[in-house]
Structure 1
């Protein structure tokens, strides 16, 4: 038995001459919350759909929940697609029970679980309201509950936070954590870094159809140097302060801002302590996941444009 709930190798997909996904590998540990991040159009949705067997890859394979083919374990999967859709004339409770019944859950049990989920999330007031009368975000929460009401082992959510207000985003985050505590594996795609930073055990970043990073959130943040803000207690000439700090340090009012590597932190603190200038304020922090994401994607874009320029030059020369 594999320790991964999702194992995808070399997934590749063309739409005509356009390569939407180019050899993506992914391994999602069982019982984890795993985020697939990337800009719009990077290939996230197509990758998820190939992993789930919704569309066939042109190359590569996907195994789920211990090495099974996607088709053989459909009843153990909960999937929220990017394109939402519910029967507008159904009431929320019935819509959730209906989605559970499609996955083999008894109708009465589905209705019972629907009520429990809605109460837990503070949505019991709309449990018997028709979908057509709900806000877009509220209907999305109903569809989400319907996707997990059968207690799946693997939950796949495609851009689940899109269109939700901050209150429902918090509800969704709580629901994701609850399902992980139950033992489920959660795989979700997003281009909003804050949710991934709070939730994910591991992440993959896809840009221009390829996986460009895989690891923990801290691994991604460690790709960039730490950011330092230092405010001396004793007034001094800027040149004297600058002599303590990295060459790229810049003054901002009374404080100095600069980046620093992990190995340089203790020597910096020793220099500041020995200088006699003292400390009014000192903060040393890792960049956010957002900064690491932008850094990775910009590197990919720069390489892509450089390759395109080289190809154009070669074509012109020919």
Structure 2
């Protein structure tokens, strides 16, 4: 049985103030509805994922939350403010379209981005050098962006997003284009931000990142959000699966197996009964089934995504992952 991810209990979530609250967000472009009735609530200090295939409406949703574009319908608040631009210094945003001046030095690029958020340029540049040192890029501080690898340049832009110490960090497809090593480094940075009380919300089409990192997720497909809530609750929409191996092949104990039980090879497979495993265990023991092994496996977030969003959205998600890996 796999361990449940560490998440904040629902009762505690209810007591936490919200960093982001959105209700009924709708956005249309040239008569086409790109986002249709999005509801999202993100507690302060959470790591929250917007999960869906490319073209599902993730970027449009993030831009509405940040006030970059206004919704045609609905309301959104960031730290209680309905005009996110008024609290821009509290927000760090990494857009999906990466872009730094190629001739600018790495440390100056971070300083420039900090100055755009209201920091004195000298202070932002000094802080940028510290961040580069802390993240193993001190040797690259005075190199031009064009001299850096793609992963290093993306890290520099991320550090520019964080240099002014924002309370909310919004990352649009931050793992896109990164190799496994840099993806791992980014995951550690995101966890460190949350441990310091920073709220992190990121969009992704890679389920594994959301499952490892997120306390809550919004699943988005076709501009709609069929699910928004905890990762645990999403997984629990599919009953846990039991795998049972017995010494005995026949006996009265078989009547205790659930109706969906199927026998494959040496094992029985079935959904965990609503009553739990204990009544079944008693029936197996009393019926002398001879239990050789028994395991209970919860559904993963991928299975939950398929169950909630449908096969078509899941295929689009997988096709997007495959296309990115081929690049």
Cα offsets for 1:205-229 (capped at 9, x unmatched): 1122111112111100100010111
Distance 1:279 1:122 in 2: 52
List aligned pairs for 1:1-318, cutoff 5 A.
3-232=17-246, 234-237=247-250, 242-298=254-310
Provide closer, same or farther for how the CA distance between residues 139 and 10 of structure 1 changes in structure 2, counting only shifts above 3 A: same
What SS does structure 1 have at the residue aligned with 2:310? helix
Distance 1:240 1:136 in 2: 64
Q: In 2, are the aligned partners of 1:226 and 1:262 still within 8 Å (CA)? A: no
Distance 1:134 1:61 in 2: 41
Cα offsets for 1:230-274 (capped at 9, x unmatched): 122x2525x877544223333333222222244242222222222
Shift of 1:110: 2.0
Distance 2:83 2:70 in 1: 12
Shift of 1:113: 2.2
Q: Which moved more, 1:32-41 or 1:113-122?
A: 113-122
Distance 2:196 2:152 in 1: 24
Q: In 1, are the aligned partners of 2:112 and 2:121 still within 8 Å (CA)? A: yes
What SS does structure 2 have at the residue aligned with 1:263? coil
Provide closer, same or farther for how the CA distance between residues 165 and 295 of structure 1 changes in structure 2, counting only shifts above 3 A: same
Aligned length: 299
TM-score normalized by structure 1?
0.87
Distance 2:17 2:285 in 1: 49
Segments of structure 2 that go 5 or more residues without pairing to the other structure are 1-15, 315-327
What SS does structure 1 have at the residue aligned with 2:22? strand
Please give the root-mean-square deviation of Cα atoms over the aligned residues, in Å.
2.2
TM-score normalized by structure 2?
0.85
Distance 1:44 1:65 in 2: 21
Distance 1:282 1:110 in 2: 57
Q: In 1, are the aligned partners of 2:44 and 2:199 still within 8 Å (CA)? A: yes
Distance 1:136 1:38 in 2: 25
Q: Which moved more, 1:216-225 or 1:48-57?
A: 48-57
Q: In 2, are the aligned partners of 1:64 and 1:70 still within 8 Å (CA)? A: yes
Segments of structure 1 that go 5 or more residues without pairing to the other structure are 303-318
